[in-house]
Amino acid sequence: MASINHTKRNGSTCWQIWVNIDSNRRQIWLGNISRSRANEIYSYVKQLEVAIQTGTSISPFVSDWLDSISDRFYSKLVSSGLVNPRCSRTIREFFSERLAKLNCSVRTRDIYQRAHDKFYDFLDCKNPLLRDFSPEAAHDFYHVYLVELEIADTYRNKTARIIREFFGKAEEFELINRNPFRGIKISTDADRSRQVMIDRKSIHEIIGKASDIRWRCLLGFAGLCGLRTRSEIAAIRWENVNWDDNTMIIPKGKTKQRTCPIFGDFRAYFEDYHALAISNDPLMVLQGPIFPNCPSQTQLTARLNRTVAKAGLQPWPKPWINLRSSCESHLILVDRFDIETVSAWLGNSPNIVRKHYLQFIGEDIDRAAGVEKFANSLQNTGESGSTLKEKPAFSRMVEHEKAGQYT
């Protein structure tokens, strides 16, 4: 265990700490300082030694102390084997390196990059070291800077979570002692203010106004099968379609590869597009992407909004996400498929479905409004128009018991 002693040098009392790491006894020279200050440093050194021997993490107090000491004294701790060398990597250098090594889809990488760009704008052309970014700056980034940008709460929370994740990686790799975002509570609530439920009938009306067979099929993939637009629609291939089993394999993208049914009300649009593709050679076996040269996300959204307007409907916010959400809600709430089954078909977890996708539908509200009031309800005014057609079950039971007394 660590020990502390003092010695006389040139008439002054000098303190030193001895630590025992890997059976090697090393000295940390403190010099001519007060006894109280020497004991304070000794207490921190003992905690560092115990953390190494037990394989546990250091306390926040020790972490803050390590951040406050000078580079010269910190190098003494490094020489004694108590700590790793201080990180000299900048935020931009580390973030760019980790993003390049991230195994994710192109769209996810783009989302991460946009979050990083927001963070770089906050740094205002500065490029501080990872260890120099303070919890106070992290607080100002989330609670001040992103709020002043007047962006949606979900986008603000997502951006802050991404930055926190990358600082968490730096902490995991022992490049920093503490994640500056650790004590900041970032909301994970779903924003349902822009959710719109598009019923199945309206989706068919929109598809009916499509300008060509290819566009009708693409809209069917999004609105009737719930595929992600554009990533999954651009990736699906003809060889992934099994017409006999009514299934299609959705290649690995944002999630792992999965099998999805060819839903009954979509098959006619799909067969029309297939017939068009093989019209020149009916015996040809199609291979390659179903939608080669698929337009960009912006072009697809603009064309969808024009088609929705042609159908006499008002374009809605988040057009493709709400199509996917409406499809999933219809399968669960109307067609009564199990939520685990639907989430496996559409490539997300049941928890994500409940939190972000599942919507209320008009049929549920109408059915709830048609429920008859109880006789003892506060809504019952006692007027003849509000009486029930049938007595409550409890009253019928009491009458049956009374009749039994005279049997």
Q: Which two tokens stand for residue 64?
A: 């803050």
Assess whether pLDDT exceeds 90 at residue 404: no
Q: What mean pLDDT do residues 155-183 have?
A: 92
Q: What is the pLDDT of residue 285?
A: 81
CA gap 362, 254 in Å, rounded: 31
325 or 103, greater pLDDT: 325
112 or 364, greater pLDDT: 112
Assess whether pLDDT exceeds 80 at residue 363: no
Taking only the tens place, the pLDDT of each residue in 221-256 is: 999 999 999 999 999 999 999 999 999 999 987 788
- In the 8-state DSSP scheme, what is residue 12? E
CA gap 256, 343 in Å, rounded: 12
- Mean pLDDT value across the chain: 85
| 289 beta partners | 237
Per-residue pLDDT band for 104 (boundaries 50, 70, 90) equals confident
CA gap 252, 347 in Å, rounded: 10
Q: What is the pLDDT of residue 355?
A: 78
102 or 283, greater pLDDT: 102
Assess whether pLDDT exceeds 60 at residue 382: no
Taking only the tens place, the pLDDT of each residue in 51-79 is: 888 888 888 888 888 888 888 898 888 88
The structure's pTM equals 0.63
- What lies within 8 Å, CB to CB, of 381 at 6+ separation is none
Q: What is the pLDDT of residue 71?
A: 82
pLDDT above 90 coverage of the chain, percent: 54
Q: What is the pLDDT of residue 166?
A: 96
Q: What is the pLDDT of residue 81?
A: 86
Per-residue pLDDT band for 369 (boundaries 50, 70, 90) equals low
* CB half-sphere exposure, 104, CA atoms < 13 A: 13
Per-residue pLDDT band for 269 (boundaries 50, 70, 90) equals very high
CA gap 342, 160 in Å, rounded: 31
Q: What is the pLDDT of residue 372?
A: 57
